[in-house]
Amino acid sequence: MYLWQQNQDPMTQPIQGFSKLDKAAKIDWLATHFTGDPEEAKKVLAQYWNTDRQLQQLHDEFIENTISNFYLPLGIAPNFKINDRLYALPMAIEESSVVAAASKAAKFWLDRGGFKARVLGTQKIGQVHFMFDGAPEKLDAFIESIQEVFITDTAAITKNMEKRGGGITGIVLRDKTAELQHYYQLHCTFETLDAMGANFINSCLEQFAETLQREAKTYRPFTADESTIEVVMSILSNYVPECLVRAEVECPVSELQLRPDISPAVFAEKMVRAVTIAEIEPHRAVTHNKGIMNGIDAVVLATGNDFRAVEAGVHAYAAKDGRYQSLTHASVTDGIFSFWIEIPLALGTVGGLTSLHPLVKLALEILGNPSAKELMQLVAVAGLAQNFAAVSSLVTTGIQEGHMKMHLMNILNQLHANAEEKKVLTAYFKKHTVTHSAVVSAFEKLRQP
């Protein structure tokens, strides 16, 4: 039953009970009130439904109020030699030239030793934020006295994780009263193995909060006021500076022959200088790191992980020294060019979409069903490769030459070029510079009688 009147203005009269409507009713309301051509809008939405009803229902149940599916291309970047093993990296992304750039970097380093990667740490963080109006030394003694109670109270939650070798690794009191009056936190660390672990960590934290408040009521050294602890919130942190992975490549400078018109020594100098600029100039660093995230996000998405959490943690890490700076670094020492990245990545290969989304399961299979540690290394390499490709283009031909050639097909599709026109114009722009205006001009000329 529709819960709105057809003559109501949706800009002034909100709909009641929208979530209770079936999909058809949701779409009918949306198309009727918010599109110029309701039937065309319904047609577009229906085009992206999966014909397999069971599969479509699975997708419908991932989130709330679903009306259709939103597709991203899933591409493959082959020839990644990582720790002496060959990989084909699945990448889900809408931006042209990203997969091509990653593939180009992978091919370049294939015969130069490939990429090396290693995990430096896997510790994840959660916090219980609370207010305490009392003596700090009493609070410190109290937290120390109930350490075992925290562990006992969460035993049912941590049992299975501990069987696999994970669990709670630390619970520390932090005094934050210098920044906010009466503010303290339990700073808690966890090992979640192959799971990203958000639900596990949050469940532990909420139990810590309950334990904290309960035990405070009977802690004899506390006064009546001190025994009332106000918990503000209990939540994991997506800033994981101790869940860290390093990826790197290196080779003799003499092997850095990317273009016949630029000597390896000059190219190496240009690369190091460009990366140094990103280390000292935040405006450049943001775009520099965005290019890194092109590669990272694409693999994170393809493997069903939370790219928003990864983005937030990575950018916080880029500013850890008080100024936002490059996540990659480059140097030349004793004739050896080195290029590397150290980056925090909290990823999972079990739980969440990894066991539900058919394409995610396939992507992980393509990668050899990696552990979370292995996936961290693969994702870090994708970011490093993407950055190498982008910076090497910037310091040689410029970013637009390669990017716009890859963008050519998008422009032709916007112009509704037919197959023959695409063939002619693709051949033409192999020898001419691609700009939007140049493509439009060539297209119009081609269509002239």
| pLDDT score of 11 | 61
The predicted model scores a pTM of 0.87
| pLDDT score of 1 | 40
Q: What does DSSP say about strands 230-237 and 336-344: parallel, antiparallel, or unpaired?
A: unpaired
Catalytic residue IDs: 95, 290, 306, 403
In residues, how long is the chain?
449
pLDDT in tens, 150-199: 999 999 999 999 999 999 999 999 999 999 999 999 999 999 999 999 99
Q: Please tell me the distance from the alpha carbon of residue 96 to that of residue 406, in angstroms, as a whole number.
A: 6
pLDDT in tens, 268-309: 999 999 999 999 999 999 999 999 999 999 999 999 999 999
The domain ranges of the chain are 1-71, 82-118+244-397, 124-237, 402-447
* Residues in Cβ contact with 324 at an 8 Å cutoff, skipping those fewer than 6 apart: 282, 285, 286, 315, 318
Q: Name the band, by pLDDT with cuts 50, 70 and 90, for residue 417.
A: confident
Q: What is the CATH number of domain 82-118+244-397?
A: 3.90.770.10
pLDDT in tens, 324-362: 999 999 999 999 999 999 999 999 999 888 888 999 999
pLDDT in tens, 247-278: 999 999 999 998 888 999 999 999 999 999 99
Closest CA to 313 of 125, 130, 185, 91: 125
Domain range 124-237, CATH architecture: 2-Layer Sandwich (3.30)
| pLDDT score of 371 | 97
Instruction: Output phi, psi for 295, to 5 deg.
Output: -75, -45
